[in-house]
Amino acid sequence: MATGGLWGAGLFGGKAALQEAAITAAALRSDRFRQDREGDWKRLEAIVSRMESGRLRRIPDADLLALPVLYRTVASSLSVARETSLDAATLAYLEGLVQRAWFLVYGPRQSLWGWFKGFLGGGLSAAVRGIWFDILIALAVMVAGTAVGWLLVAGDPEWYAAIVPGNFMDVRQPGASHEALKGTLFGNTGQDGLSIFAASLFSHNAQIAILAFALGFAFGIPSLLLLVQNTALLGAMLWLYDGQGLLLDFTGWLSVHGTTELFAILLAGAAGLHIGRNIAFPGTRGVLQAASEAGQRAATVMAGVVLMLVFAAMLEGFARQLVDSTQARLAIGGSMLAIWLGYFFAFRGRGAEA
């Protein structure tokens, strides 16, 4: 019995000694690992801390050049530390340092506010000027689509139902009287019917803008067809109101938000066409390179299109409902068109050229 107890105690003591030896060896291995590499860690941490505090001018050029190399060295140290199961404190320190360095090496070079200022301060207008040829093509297609819509319904009024969606037709149909059509343009401030029609028109145009851009990869052909479809609707409605002597009044009613909204559709279609045209005709560049360059420029334009559609919605929801005069409506619409043209084609800011 005594012998068994001594043997058990010896066995327990042997296990404890082995565990203690393993812990000691792990600690020594961790200390040695840290000592061999700690210089690079501390240097990287000092560079990262200075950059995070905005003291870039105090960082030597040699440290800035060494930043990517130090980042990869410390990332390698983290990988080894994980594989060899080093102590938790070392792992936590390396993980935090690598994460901080990653944002400086690979992260965005400017804040969201900085990007937004550059975007409005010249980046957007430069991107729009960069697709001027596609804008001209899209504009020609939109004018042609408007003419086609007008001529089709003028030749056969039954085309009106095929061109104009059902949710746009209340009293706005062939055969409507002058008074009925005029009633849709004036004296409707605050009425639900006009608001519903305006919301439907905005939703329709926003969908056209998004689809015209998204389908541009198919050599731009679907984008052009969508522009024709949308402007044929416009041509049909212009014909309808012109038949009752209300063409100018309808143009004024539409222009309050239309100069912004239709301009946005024009840019969206041109952006989609720009991508498709560069894919079809990459020139001396590879197709992927041409598509990438065109896509970046077109994406900038589409960010502007989104802002324009939001602005058009505000004009549609407030300005057009509050203004009940054709002359005032034309003044608002014309002013908005002049502002957009001046911003896109005359304004030269500090944004990067497209």
Q: Where exactly are the structural domains of the chain?
A: 10-105, 113-345
Least reliable range by pLDDT among 19-33, 106-120, 151-165, 168-182: 19-33
pLDDT score, position 218: 78
In the predicted model, what is the mean pLDDT of residues 167-195? Answer: 76
Is residue 329 scored above 50 in pLDDT?
yes
CA end-to-end span of the chain: 91
Q: 82-91, 128-137, 178-187 — which is least confidently predicted?
A: 82-91
Distance in angstroms (rounded) separating the CA atoms of residues 19 and 237: 88
* Closest to 131 (Cα-Cα) out of 289, 265, 272, 225: 272
H, E, C per residue of 60-123: CHHHHHHHHHHHHHHHHHHHHHHHCCCCHHHHHHHHHHHHHHHHHHCCCCCCHHHHHHHHHHHH
The pLDDT of residue 336: 95
Element (H, E) at 317: none
pLDDT band at 326 (very low <50, low <70, confident <90, very high): very high
For the record, the structure tokens of 53 come out as 């505090």
Q: What is the pTM of this model?
A: 0.67
CA distance linking residue 107 with residue 207, whole number of Å: 33
Average pLDDT over residues 71-81: 84
Residue 300 has pLDDT above 60, yes or no: yes
